[in-house]
Amino acid sequence: MEDENNKVTLHGMWISTYAKKVELALKIKGITFDYVEEDLSNKSSLLLQYNPIYKKVPVLLHRGKPVSESLVILEYIDETWKNEPRFLPEDPYERATVRFWATYCLQMSDTMKKAFISDKDVEEGAFDEFFEKLKVMEEGMKDFFPGGRSIICADNLRLLDIIIVCSLGTYKAAEEVLGMKILDPEKYPFVYSWVNTLLELPLVKETLPQHDKVVSRLEFIKQNGFTFQSHIS
C-alpha cells in the first residue's frame, strides 16, 4: 500500500550521469518512486522551487521535502532506507575512504565532460587531465579492493559501484563519437573490468541510457557546445 506521506519523486534528465546515480540507488534499495523528466532548456517551476540554489537535476523529493546534490542525496537515501545493501560502510575510516574516492570519481567524470566539449583536440591534450585522473583512480581502486572487487550482484552494490558505473557506463558511446579509446583495458584493467561487470547487471542495463541515444546526443553536443553542461549537477 503506497503511503502518500512517504512519497518519493526524482527530478532527473535521461543523460545526466548525476541523476542516473540517484535513479540506480533508488532501484537498488527497492524504493518506489515517481520520475519527472526535466527539459533543461525549459525547467519546470517545481525544479526551480526545489533547487533554487543551483537550479539543477537531480532533486529528490521525499515527504514533500527536497534534497539536492547527488552525493548528498545518495547518503540521504542510505540513512533513510536502512535495508541492504548499505551504500556506505559502518567503520569510520572505511567510510571516509569511500567518500574520498566517490568525490574523486565525480571530479574525474567532470574532467572528462570538460575535455569532451573542449576546443582543444585530443592530440592537443584535451583528455590528458582526464587520463591522469583515471590512472589515479585505477591505482586507488586496486589498493582499496586488494583481492579485486568481489562478486557483484544487485544485492551488494555499494556507493562506489553506483558512482563508477553511472560516471563511466556510457564510455562506449563516447569512444564511438570521439573515435578513440576512453577506457583502455590494457592501461586501466581494474576499472575496465569493474565497469563492464557492472554493465552486465539487468538493473544497471535498464537504468543507464541506451547506447544509440547517447551516441546521437554526444554527437550533437560535440558539434554545438555546452549549454547542456551548466544544467546538471
Sequence-distant (6+) residues with CB within 8 A of 36 are: 9, 10, 11, 12, 44, 46
Can residue 144 be called a binding residue for another protein (CB under 8 A)? no
Taking the complex as a whole, the smallest distance from the CB of residue 103 to another protein amounts, in Å, to: 7
Closest to another protein by CB, 136 vs 154, is 136
Can residue 62 be called a binding residue for another protein (CB under 8 A)? yes
Joined grid coordinates for residue 53? 540554489
Instruction: State yes or no: cis peptide before 58, omega within 30 of 0.
Output: yes
Task: Please report the sign of the dihedral spanned by the C-alpha atoms of residue 149, residue 197, residue 173, residue 11.
Answer: negative
Residue type, 56: K
Q: What are phi and psi of 14, to 5 degrees?
A: -60, -25
Q: What are phi and psi of 220, to 5 degrees?
A: -60, -45
Can residue 70 be called a binding residue for another protein (CB under 8 A)? no
Can residue 73 be called a binding residue for another protein (CB under 8 A)? yes
Taking the complex as a whole, the smallest distance from the CB of residue 69 to another protein amounts, in Å, to: 6
SS3 percent helix, strand, coil of the chain, rounded to 5, is 55, 10, 35
Can residue 99 be called a binding residue for another protein (CB under 8 A)? yes
Rounded (5°) CA angle 205-176-137: 65
Can residue 79 be called a binding residue for another protein (CB under 8 A)? yes
**Looking at 23-31, 33-41, 62-70, 209-217, which segment touches another protein (CB under 8 A)?**
62-70
Can residue 96 be called a binding residue for another protein (CB under 8 A)? yes
Can residue 140 be called a binding residue for another protein (CB under 8 A)? yes
Instruction: Out of 14, 33, 76, 226, name the contact with another protein by CB under 8 A.
Output: 76
Taking the complex as a whole, the smallest distance from the CB of residue 224 to another protein amounts, in Å, to: 27
d(CA 227, CA 3): 39
Taking the complex as a whole, the smallest distance from the CB of residue 204 to another protein amounts, in Å, to: 25
d(CA 36, CA 115): 29
Closest to another protein by CB, 190 vs 198, is 190
Can residue 89 be called a binding residue for another protein (CB under 8 A)? no
d(CA 15, CA 37): 10
d(CA 18, CA 199): 17
Closest to another protein by CB, 52 vs 189, is 52
Chain residues binding another protein by CB under 8 A are 53, 62, 65, 67-69, 71-73, 75-76, 79-80, 92-93, 95-97, 99-100, 103-104, 136, 140
